[in-house]
Chain A
Amino acid sequence: NAGVTQTPKFRVLKTGQSMTLLCAQDMNHEYMYWYRQDPGMGLRLIHYSVGEGTTAKGEVPDGYNVSRLKKQNFLLGLESAAPSQTSVYFCASSPHRDRIYSGNTIYFGEGSWLTVV
């Protein structure tokens, strides 16, 4: 039961480098999200997707791009990494509202720790 899998789990980047975080879910969920978590800031939404081929901006989208070419994958790209993007990144997915049975709305990956130096 993989659930939501993020790769890589840890990465150190130099300022200006680019990279992609990969999120994969095997639960056939329609919706996927990328959050970042900084100390004292809770979880802030970067981008999200309501279905294959669609993406939308969240609260803090600047400096990031996303793509959802396949329903099970949601990629987060950093175009030119900056120290302000040092954070923990969480991917999450959720099913269509009509298929929520357990009470839980959203399922998280284990997180990706990114440091930009």
Chain B
Amino acid sequence: EDKVVQSPLSLVVHEGDTVTLNCSYEVTNFRSLLWYKQEKKAPTFLFMLTSSGIEKKSGRLSSILDKKELFSILNITATQTGDSAIYLCAVEYRVTGGGNKLTFGTGTQLKVEL
């Protein structure tokens, strides 16, 4: 059965700390791994990863994929209170009959305190 597991489930840090969020997966016909940030409403896109070892970076956020060990990490440096959110990992894979599906992890709830 396809699955995506995120850890930790929740995390509380202080402003300025660096955090690492983990995502491991088991799927067939893997296409990509995606990270999303969810505040009050719909998830917003952060990164899409398809190749091992290539870091994607956007400001204080970065992410990397290891397709051999089947995991990805999302790093946030110098955290700010605005980083407080649920971070979702999703794995995209091909399905029979065409098209793609995404399976999401349970998410990591990050809270950044002053």
Contacts and interface: CB of A to CB of B under 8 A. Distances in A.
A72 interface: no
Interface in A97-117: 97, 103-106, 108-111
Interface in A60-107: 90, 94, 97, 103-106
Given A50-B98, A50-B99, 16 more contacts: A30-B99, A31-B99, A31-B100, A40-B9, A42-B106, A43-B104, A44-B104, A45-B103, A59-B103, A90-B42, A94-B100, A105-B92, A105-B102, A106-B90, A108-B43, A109-B42
A103 B88 contact: no
Contacts of B43: 43, 90, 108
Contact of B105 (A30, A31, A42, A90): A42
A110 B41 contact: yes
- The range of chain A's interface size is 20 to 34
B101 interface: yes
Contacts of B90: 43, 106
What are the nearest 9 A-B pairs in CB distance? A50-B99, A108-B42, A42-B106, A43-B104, A104-B45, A103-B48, A42-B104, A42-B107, A31-B99
A56 interface: yes
Nearest to A91: B42
B42 A43 contact: no
Contacts of B88: 42-43
A8 B98 CA distance: 30
A105 B42 CA distance: 14
A34 interface: no
B32 interface: yes
